[in-house]
Structures are given as structure tokens and as C-alpha cells.
Amino acid sequence: MKAFWEKLTTTLRMIKFEHTLFALPFAFLGAVLAADGLPAWRQIVWITVAMFGARSAAMTFNRIIDRKYDAENPRTAGRELPSGKLSVGFAWAFFGAAVALFELAAYSLNWLTFALSPVALLSVLGYSYAKRFTSLAHLILGWSLAISPTAAWIAVRGEFDSEVPILLSVLVMMWTAGFDVLYACQDYEFDKKAGLRSIPARFGIRNSLWIARIFHFQAFVVLVLLYAITGLGWLALAGVVAVGALMIYQHTLVKANDLSRMNAAFFTTNAFVSVILFVTFGGAVFLAKTS
């Protein structure tokens, strides 16, 4: 039993299970906005299962495909596959199980989610190869995460009938691209040496910090548009202000000559952004129904 729990813990570390907090609130927000309130419990359960399956598959695939680079990079050499804590065979088996779980959840929601599930799956898996071919890999990662709110909308309504999920997805895409550019600054030297493509490797750290700021400014503009279109009142407006302040704060933590506070910028503020938007915009939906 002890060995089982140790392997489970190691597997959850491999897929960075705690980072699900970044994406899951956006899926839940898409579902709440689609239902104009609380979705059916069955929908909530299967959306959660689909998110876990898709993200687990994507992270596992990334770790398998990138294990050679991870082993060569001092920052990532201790990860579960290059360090031998998990075998590649086990990782492939876990990947297959995660894909099956995702497809089961998509099938259990409605026909359109199941029909579109291969598009979502190919998107989240394709990111693993992006840095080999394009410096725009950060935007591809953003697209992969941005699928979740629109997918949740379709999961609830069974159709794609509004600009609201589009705006929410564009917000997630630009927000993700911005923080991924920041995070990639840590691997500037290694990416150049290994021939991997990223915005920091192409434009340098100082310019990349400005590019990340531009991406986040674009995300904030889309957030304002989302607020204007939904017209959700003071609570949603408080969310807009709070997220804008957090984005500014995030960029004060990271400087071209000092990346030591990257973890605070990446993990703490990003987790707060998704949760704040879910609580404020989602809460505003329920306030509007009771007023």
C-alpha cells in the first residue's frame, strides 16, 4: 500500500496536479455562464473529469517527449522521468488511461463535445512539439488552455451560440501566453544552446518581459470587453480591477537582471487570477438571478 501511494504521489508530481488550479476555474466559469447559474451536477462532474483527463494526458505526453531535454537542463533534470522515479513505460500507460478518461467524459456530456474532442486532444498534445519549430509556442500553449471555457460552454448547452465563451477563451490564451513567456525566461541560456525556440531565446530576456506585458495588456482589454458584454455588475467589475492589479504586480516581481522571484510571479499570482475571475464573475451570475 505504501508503494502504491508513493507512486501515485510521484505521478501527480509529474503532471503537476496542483497547476490544475490555473485552468479548472475557467472551465467552471464557462459552464456557469453557459447555464446562467449552476449547471447540472452531472455536467459539473464530467467537465471536471474531462479537464483532469485532458490535462493529465497533455502533461504526461510533454514529459515523455521532452525527457531528453529535461535530462540536459539543470532546472528540470530532477523531474520524474529523467531521474528514473517513473519509467517511460508507466508514463505511456498513464497517458493512455488519461486519454480514455477524457474521451469517456466527452462522450458522457453530449454529441458535440465528443465530436470535437479530437480537436481538443490534438491541440493540447501538439504543444509538446511547438518549441522545436516556432517561437510562438507560448501562444500555442495559450490556445491549449483557452479551449477549456468554450468546451465547458458547449458541454452545458450542446451548441456554440455566443461571443461570451470566445472572449473568455481569448482572455485565457493571452494571459497564458504572457505568463509562459515570463516562465521561459528562466531557460533562456538552455533553449539557445539546445536549439529550442521561444520568445526569450529569440528576443532576449529584456525584450521578452515587454512582450509578456503586451500579452497581458491584451488579456486585460479582452477582460474589460467580457465585462461590458455580460453586464454582470459590481462584483464582476471588482474582479476586473483585482485581476488588473495582480497582472501589474506580477510584472513588478520579475526584472531582466533578477529572475529570483519567478516562482512568486508564476505560481501565486496566476492561481489567484483564475480563482478571482471564477468567484467574481460566477458570483455575479447568481447575484443577477436573485436581484
- Is pLDDT at 2 greater than 60 in this prediction? no
15 compared with 226, residue with greater pLDDT:
226
Instruction: Give per-residue pLDDT as tens, 37-96.
Output: 999 999 999 999 999 999 999 999 999 998 988 888 888 888 888 888 889 999 999 999
Give percent above pLDDT 70 in the chain: 94
Mean pLDDT of 190-210: 88
Cα-based angle 273, 279, 282 (whole degrees, multiple of 5): 120
Give percent above pLDDT 90 in the chain: 59
Listed by start position, the domains of the chain span 2-290
Instruction: Give per-residue pLDDT as tens, 34-48.
Output: 999 999 999 999 999
Q: Fold for domain 2-290?
A: Tetracycline Repressor; domain 2 (1.10.357)
Instruction: Give per-residue pLDDT as tens, 235-289.
Output: 999 999 999 999 988 888 877 777 776 666 666 677 788 899 999 999 999 998 7
pTM of the model: 0.90
Taken in order 251, 138, 16, 121, the sign of the CA dihedral is: positive
Average pLDDT, the chain: 89
Q: Please report, to the nearest 10 degrees, the dihedral formed by the alpha carbons of residues 164, 170, 176, 180 taken in order.
A: 180
- Is pLDDT at 28 greater than 80 in this prediction? yes
